[in-house]
């Protein structure tokens, strides 16, 4: 709903190899290990909801903290991550 109704942006924090293996349509990939140094790439999304996605929903909380510390006000994590997304047979692209 955040994506469709509020122009939310998906931020996939998995490594590049996992991202290339399948990701949510239009997701932005910035691995968690590089998030702090690449945070400027997200400045244009400061006013939009950000939905953080990792593999299983466990690392996304760390990314949410980093983003909130940098001034992002509408940040949420996707519970269950890509594992849950794929379990529900939701669409991915490569």
What are the catalytic residues? 54
* Cα torsion angle, 72, 74, 76, 82, sign: negative
| Number of residues that make up the chain | 94
Contact partners, residue 91, CB within 8 Å, separation at least 6:
24, 25
């Amino acid at each position: 709903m955040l994506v469709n109704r509020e122009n939310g942006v998906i931020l996939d924090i998995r490594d590049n190899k996992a991202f290339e293996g399948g990701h949510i349509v239009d997701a932005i990939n910035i691995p968690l290990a590089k998030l702090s140094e690449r945070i400027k790439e997200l400045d244009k999304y400061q006013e939009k909801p950000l939905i953080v996605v990792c593999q299983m929903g466990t690392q996304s909380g760390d990314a949410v903290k980093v983003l909130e510390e940098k001034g992002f006000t509408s940040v949420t994590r996707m519970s269950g991550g890509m594992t849950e997304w794929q379990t529900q047979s939701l669409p991915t692209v490569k």
